[in-house]
Amino acid sequence: MMEETPGVVLAVYAHPDDADVACGGTLARWAKAGSAVHLLVCTDGGKGTTDPTIVPTDLARARAGELESSSALIGLTSVENLGFPDGELTDSEDFRRTLVDRVRSVRPEVVCGHDPTAVFFGQAYFNHRDHRIAGAALLDAVAPAAALPHYFPDTGPAHQVSTVLLSATLEPDEWVDITDTIDTKASAVECHRTQFAGQDGWAGEAVRRRAAEEGRRAGVTYAEGFRRLTLGA
C-alpha cells in the first residue's frame, strides 16, 4: 500500500477518459493532499464511438469539454492534450521527444501511465493500441532519456523520475487507498458521457465495483492497483 504523497505528479494517458478510469481516485487523493498533479493526454479521442454519423472533430471537441469538467473535479494543476489523432499514435522519436520535454519541464517525482505489457484482459478484451504505444513511449522517455542529458539536449536539464506507477496492469504490486475519493472518481468518470452513455449512474457503479475488487486485494474498501517501478535508488 502506497502511503506517501508525492510533491509533483505527471500522468500520461492516451485518451481523454483514460486517467480518470485508470487512476482518478489516486490523482484526486494526491491533489486534495496538496500535490501538483499534471495530466498529459496524447490523442484527441475523435474515433471513440460506434456511431458512423458523428464527425471525429466534433467528438474530439465534446471530449475536450468532458475532460475539462472531470479535471476540475479531480483538482488537476494542469491538463494538456497533445492532439494526436485517435488510434494513430506511433512510437516515434518526435513523440518521445515531446514526452521527455514534458517530463523535464514538470519534473515529477511520480509518473503514472499505461502498462504497455498488458495486452489480453481475459478472453473478451485486448488493450487498445494507443494505450500500448503511449505506455511504451512513456517508459522510454522516463528512462533513460529524460534522466540522461545527451538525450534530446534541447528539451531542458535532465530529470530523474523516482517512481513509475503503471495502471491497467495484469501484475499489480502496489495499491493506493481511494476510499476517501471514490465519489470524486465516479463523478469524474461520469463526465465522459460520450464514452459511458447509458443509464444514469451506470459508469459510477462500474467504477465502484472495480475499485472494491482492488480494495479487497489491498485490504481497504476501495483501491486502485498499479505495477510500481522505483528508479534511480
Q: For binding to Zn ion (CB under 5 A), which residues are involved?
A: 14-15, 18
Max Cα-Cα span within the chain: 52
Q: CB of 137: closest distance to Zn ion in angstroms?
A: 15
Question: SS3 for 150?
Answer: coil
Q: CB of 149: closest distance to Zn ion in angstroms?
A: 33
By beta-carbon proximity to Zn ion, the closer residue of 14 and 161 is 14
Sequential DSSP letters for 171-217: S--EEEE-GGGHHHHHHHHHT-TTTS-SSTTHHHHHHHHHHHHHHHH
Q: CB of 14: closest distance to Zn ion in angstroms?
A: 5
What residue number has its CB nearest to Zn ion?
Answer: 15
Separation CA 147–CA 170 (nearest Å): 27
Q: β-pairing, 120-121 with 125-126?
A: antiparallel
Q: CB of 79: closest distance to Zn ion in angstroms?
A: 16
By beta-carbon proximity to Zn ion, the closer residue of 18 and 140 is 18
Q: Contact at 8 Å (CB) between 73 and 184? A: yes
By beta-carbon proximity to Zn ion, the closer residue of 35 and 195 is 195
By beta-carbon proximity to Zn ion, the closer residue of 130 and 177 is 130
